[in-house]
A and B are shown apart, each in its own frame.
Chain A
Amino acid sequence: MKKSKADPKGVLTGSHFMDGDHAIAEGGLAAGCRFFAGYPITPSTETAERFASRIPMIGGMFIQMEDELGSIAAMIGASWGGKKVMTVTSGPGFSLMMENIGLAAMMETPVVIANVQRGGPSTGLPTLTGQQDMMQARFGSHGDYRIIALSPDSPQECFDLTIEAFNLSEIYRVPVFVMTDECVGHMHEKVVIPPAEEIELVERKWYTGPIDKYLPYKNDKDGIPFMVKAGDGYLFHTTGLTHDERGYPVINAETQKINVKHLIDKIDNNAEKIIKIEEKETDGAEVLVISYGITSRVAYKAVQDAKQGGIKVGTLRLITVWPFPEKRIKELAKKVKSIVVPEINAGQVVLEVERVTAGKCRVVSVPHYGGWVHDPDDILKAIKEAV
């Protein structure tokens, strides 16, 4: 993996007061993204607008495509042209992009997609918050594959995690989602953008060997194949069909097993390196509150109230939602009495928690159907009942 420093032209160093959407755009620019193909959708449009107004001065491409299907297809094409690419969307657009997200996963193309979630399903609540696409990020496209999804809880994290998303997608050649929501997306807060020299970036593994020996999908020692871009004389072929090391389609069960297992192992075997969580006071806790995104900030109030009431509460904030931090949660499940999972959906990540804990402790879901954040008292009530 080649490490590189950010291009100062794209880094708006300084202390800013901006919302999450804008921070995502700035994060992308700081990470070296110079290609954005998108489609306007509330509440994510501000990211596209900011990118469109910033990129002509930096040097890059912004194109508003005719729909989200075209956006994701153009992004994959541009990624094979060697560029770092991103787009931003919300629920309905996310659904439209799903087929080609599968293509990006199959072709092992680095792309970054930010989903500023809103109330669903269907057109739902365009202007109000939700966290209802978490399972869709994991299972949205057909077939078996793995992706990475990050969940920022503030505009500052929107900036930081977008850069992290780019680095992860370049290392693992996989679509990476920044799963934020309308609340964080439209919330104005202080965002500190460091100088370019302090931003660490990773480039994809470019192949540098002899042209006639290049195999597009031959795994390197770390389990990830080398990548090339069009126009460098490799005359390679890549396809969405099940393929072998040469990138040629091979339609049989043996190749399918190798191909699909590779897509799965690429992320599962490296899960420990990818996963980021934030734990607070989990030692000796009776109740553990697992949350992510904006809900973690609302849960903070409930947790403070519970601690004042004498309950030993620990928190685990999922910064990486997929791959799911199974190992740590399994360990904690043995030590705590119960786990409370508040989320702005009818219960999605809680299903993973239930699966992983496998009955070792009680799991309490605190769903919220969308449109607003939780009332901290609802979470407090759940914590009290969980003891």
Chain B
Amino acid sequence: MIEFSSAVLLTSFFAGLLGALTGLGGGVVIVPALALLFHVDLRYAIGASLISVIATSSGAAVAYVREGFSNVRIGMFLEVATTLGAVGGAYLAARVSTPAIGIIFGVTLLFSAWSSFREPPNETPHPPNALAEKLKLSGDYPVNNGRVAYLAQNVPAGFGIMFIAGILSGLLGIGSGAVKVLAMDHAMKLPFKVSTTTSNFMIGVTAAASAGIYLGRGYIAPGLAAPVTLGVLAGSLLGARLLVRIRVPVLRVVFAVVIVALGVEMIYSGATGRL
């Protein structure tokens, strides 16, 4: 029991560390690690991961707000979509079979690996957008010489992708940061830094929307959720500190390979009914 708990704590620590260094979050690593290495039932793995996601997102918010990039209004508006999606995803989790969840998880992992190499879209001058102006989906962010203003585009498309991000979060127990960033920087044409920091800000609220439903279903086992939450939180706090000092391209390649391997393994395990 002590061996199992320490092994889970250590694995969670590294998941949090890698998740913070690559910006993908700890959830995408810890769920497959628990399911494939420790043979934990996927539902317990997802429940424990979701709690660690809330801790990580809330714990890291201070640093992001201080940098002055995250946008509370854009985050709050899009949280309408992610929380509704997350409640739907948590309901779906009880109806979708475990092997199918494994396959969806695998595909999401492959997407996350791809997205960590995706070039942020070029900054384009932002034409007026009536809906975005009405909803005040605008702001400015600090650059070397002053501040640059931005205004959201394609609001309905961004809202729609956020709803899908919410469903994935509630179904898989992850923050689904990769999909959230896609909605903001790709669909809504928001600056990359604003997208990533606002996404992190939103993850905790999204996860909290499915956590209540998970609790009621018995997905959250205290003896497992405790080491996972403490490990991922400690790892991601250290990762956020290291990120300021070290450059990560090499690590990013290593991590992408790990993510792809986990994704393929999850799809294979799901397809052969071993989850």
Q: Do A and B come from one complex?
A: no
Chain A residues packing against B (C-beta within 8 Å): none
Question: Which positions in B face A, CB cutoff 8 Å?
Answer: none
